[in-house]
Amino acid sequence: MFNIGITGGIGTGKTTVCKIFEILGIPVFYADQAAKQVMHEDELLVEEIKSAFGASAYSRAGELDRKYLAGIVFNDEFQLERLNSLVHPAVFRAYDKWKGDQKASYVIKEAALLFESGSYKESDYNVVVTSPLELRIKRIMKRDGISVEQVKARMSKQMSEEEKVKLADFIVKNDESELLIPQVLDLHQTFLQLSKQSQ
């Protein structure tokens, strides 16, 4: 199955772009949502988390104790990296399974950490959504009801836009000067052609 990765920094509009692809009939796998799901559903991952962080990471009923885990990984780069190195392969497994069930010309994986997780190497092409910093901050403050400092703290944990752009095959500019829908329609036509050529 021909597959496209879509990423971008916080507030650039990745999800908004993916919703437009969905309207065009293209299935989208949201990796960040899937990461939460696999922590409950992937039995191998559950066992790995228990042995890495302690059985207390799950209740007796098998519910993930997010507070317990957050207490370990919050502000500890090493532990966060350790958790991510277990979760990312489980998300890859979930994506492969999901992909096998889709019937479309191509599919999309939306992931905030597409490059950081190495997942971009599995895509046929990768798209980066870009947007000016000020606009991103404004959007996230409005969407999540948080302060400028909180937005900046979240941003500081991500790879810079400049680095992401270097790894992109295609760019979508969501900067309010170029219309978003025509850019997505153009990409859709390109991906339909590329997917045909790859068969």
Contact set with ligand ATP (CB under 6 A): 8, 10-16, 112, 139, 143, 174, 180
Q: Which is nearer to ligand ATP, 100 or 145 (CB)?
A: 145
**Neighbour count for residue 137 (Cβ, 10 Å):** 17
Q: Which is nearer to ligand ATP, 10 or 80 (CB)?
A: 10
Q: Which is nearer to ligand ATP, 11 or 27 (CB)?
A: 11
The helices-and-strands tally (H runs, E runs) of the chain is 9, 5
Q: Which is nearer to ligand ATP, 47 or 178 (CB)?
A: 178
Measured distance CA(172)–CA(31) in Å, rounded? 19
DSSP code per residue over 73-132: HTT-HHHHHHHHHHHHHHHHHHHHHHHHT--SS-EEEE-TTTTTTSGGGGSSEEEEEE--
Q: Smallest distance, Å, CB 180 to ligand ATP?
A: 5
Q: Smallest distance, Å, CB 48 to ligand ATP?
A: 26
Q: Smallest distance, Å, CB 25 to ligand ATP?
A: 19
Helix, strand or coil for residue 7?
strand
